[in-house]
Amino acid sequence: MSDLKEYLGPLWRDEALRRLQSELTPEKMNKVTTSMSNIYKNCPGGVELFLFIACEDGKVTRVETGTGEPPQAEFRIIGNYETFARISRAELGAQKALMTGKLKLKGNLAKALKLAAVSDRLNKVLAQIPTQY
């Protein structure tokens, strides 16, 4: 059990950055420069959490988690903790969650849809982290 990392905790965040940087090449990320802040509502313990990811020229440069206001991002995605957890466990696709209203997007929808494959690659890597939800 001790190898499980608390979802969105400091150890999980560090592992996420390490894995994203080592497993996703700039080519796999379509050499994209973008950023997103996921806002987690209805979290265990009654807090609101965030996950911030930034990419420059296809390289993941920052992964941050925490409470309060997240860093400014090109995209802001808002949803329930359990919805994001299901996406992180690869039980639900991000596009499906968005299209069915489980997630709300603030940002350029057309660009977001173009980046859907990139988002799926990020989520596929994150799903591999041994996580305690």
- pLDDT surpasses 70 at 17: yes
pLDDT in tens, 52-68: 999 999 999 999 999 99
- pLDDT surpasses 90 at 1: no
Non-local (6+) Cβ contacts of 45 within 8 A are none
Of 132, 56, 51, which Cα lies nearest the Cα of 94?
51
pLDDT score for 88: 87
The percentage of the chain sitting over the pLDDT mark of 90, rounded to a whole number, equals 80
All structural domains of the chain with their residue ranges: 5-128
- Choices 3.90.550.10, 3.30.1050.10, 3.30.565.10, 3.30.1340.30: CATH for 5-128: 3.30.1050.10
pLDDT score for 90: 83
